[in-house]
Amino acid sequence: MSTIREFDYVIVGAGSAGCVLANRLSANPEVSVLLVEAGPMDRSIFIHMPSAFAWPLADDKYNWYYESAPEPHMDNRSMYCPRGRVLGGSSSINGMCYVRGHALDYDRWAGNQLPSWSYANCLPYFKKSETWEHGVNEYRGDSGPLHVTDGPCKNPLYEAFIEAGAQAGYPTTTDMNGHQQEGFGHMQMTTHKGQRWSTAKAYLKPILARENLSVMVNTMTNRILFDGNRAIGIEVTQADHTHDVCAKREVICCGGAINSPQLLMISGIGDAEQLKAYDIPVVADLKGVGENLQDHLEIYVQMACTQPITLYSATKPLNKLRIGIQWLLFQTGLGATNHFEAGGFIRSDKGIEQPNLQYHFLPMAVTYDGKSAAEGHGYQAHVGPMRATSRGYVKLKSSSPQDHPKIQFNYMGTEQDRKEMRAAVRLTREVMAQDAFKPFRGEELAPGKETQSDADIDAFVRAFGESAYHPCGTCKMGVADDSTAVVDENLKVHGVQGLRVIDASIMPSIVSGNLNAPTIMIAEKAADLILGNTPLPVSTATPYQAKDWQNVQR
């Protein structure tokens, strides 16, 4: 075994957080940074062409391709859990939806003895990270690496969905990432000039020439190395050669909600009894590692379309070829969008302070990964609860980093989660029944008009519910006397020195929306913590709150 030279900071995982940290830390020429990625470079057209995002989800070339254990409340189905294994991580294979979550999500974190993670503290880092195409205001940024664009909504079905929401009595919003999340409106995406704008493109590619930054791809991190209780480096395997890499200042784990807890446990940080079962020497007995797993589950309410205006035509081979050629030549057309151009956030009942259901609208009837499309023209709303009360876990199956861990989400494990999903189906049907859809509305394809009772809807969700691919929470942030916490307010792992976790796994509770933008924000904020920079000034911007939310649902 040979030893590679030392670095000040060693970052494990070149994903949504890792690329951000590589950029911000190496901006200081006095420190050296190594970024390690298990997967390859992001050279595939299917990564960079926005409408092709289903392709990397279809196999394990750029994807860890995880599956859960049989889910007890989902007809014992094993649920698909893709995670990026490529430069850019999951930001290179996701649906590119830019959603920050709700202000109260972060205030909830702050209220759990984590005051520096309030919305007012986090908003400046959302702004720092982005360049929104409509420019700067008190909520939005215009000079960050991450380009954010609005969906053009040229297909009339998008505007029909937004108008139907208004006709059903819900508000509309001009910016669901600004003052007002609640309501129906245009969605935003991480694209730029018709291309996916992953963190690899936004943060890493422009600074690869920095002399103090090294990037290793196709490199598996086997374990974190310790001297006593201090992390001093990592053991990696590249091209069948195993090396030790030394970290003079810190090891920073950015593997995500599945890989980060697995790496910690393999390295001796976790529930001592579980580690001993695999003959892993215990460095720190932290029972919260791998626990608190949360995700968003969603179903599709699908309708047949009476006019031939949906994306069904685009699935024909000759049309696919034409779309692909137009994108290759000009980065325009149907290839330049993720097609999630309209969406919404609503509250399912009175007495709920912030939206708890999210919509992604798609002018086609198809599954998220593209594997199953309806025969004929259709449209659909993806909908599901934002803050599920079910909790799962990630546990080791062996001490080998090559073996996938056991993943158990426990979707729909509580009556509250089932109640919210029933409401999601019924409220969505109400939206679809509005006059705005009258020129387009055919029969209901799913769940189907025969699915009406609570029991019927529960059975449909068990059989057809799918993950929105937003796992988080498995290295929970919390104070030292919280037995379930893994990292502190500065994202340092409890009980050891020189080790932080910075990715979606640190979320104490899931945010109300997609997780890519919040993960980038977390990394931006963490970079200042690591470098000892003065935090950005606290924002004074105030979020929208529905009037009389205690007594009315809309």
Give the active site residues. 470
Question: Which CA distances in Å does 129 have to 94, 98, 144, 181?
Answer: 18, 12, 4, 19
Q: Are 380 and 302 in contact (CB under 8 A)?
A: yes
**DSSP labels, 320-361:** HHHHHHHHHHHS-GGGG--S--EEEEE-SSTT-SS--EEEEE
The Cα–Cα gap between 221 and 228 comes to 20
The Cα–Cα gap between 507 and 500 comes to 14
Q: Look at strands 466-467 and 297-305 and give their pairing.
A: antiparallel
The Cα–Cα gap between 549 and 354 comes to 8
Q: Counting Cβ atoms within 10 Å, is residue 360 exposed (0-12), middle (13-18) or buried (19+)?
A: buried
- The set of long-range contacts for 77-80, using a CB threshold of 8 Å and a minimum separation of 24, is 77/462, 79/409, 79/411, 79/466, 79/467, 80/369, 80/466, 80/467
Whether omega for the bond prior to residue 50 falls within 30 degrees of 0, making it cis, is no
Q: Are 357 and 425 in contact (CB under 8 A)?
A: no
Question: Which CA distances in Å does 219 have to 12, 86, 267, 472?
Answer: 10, 11, 17, 24
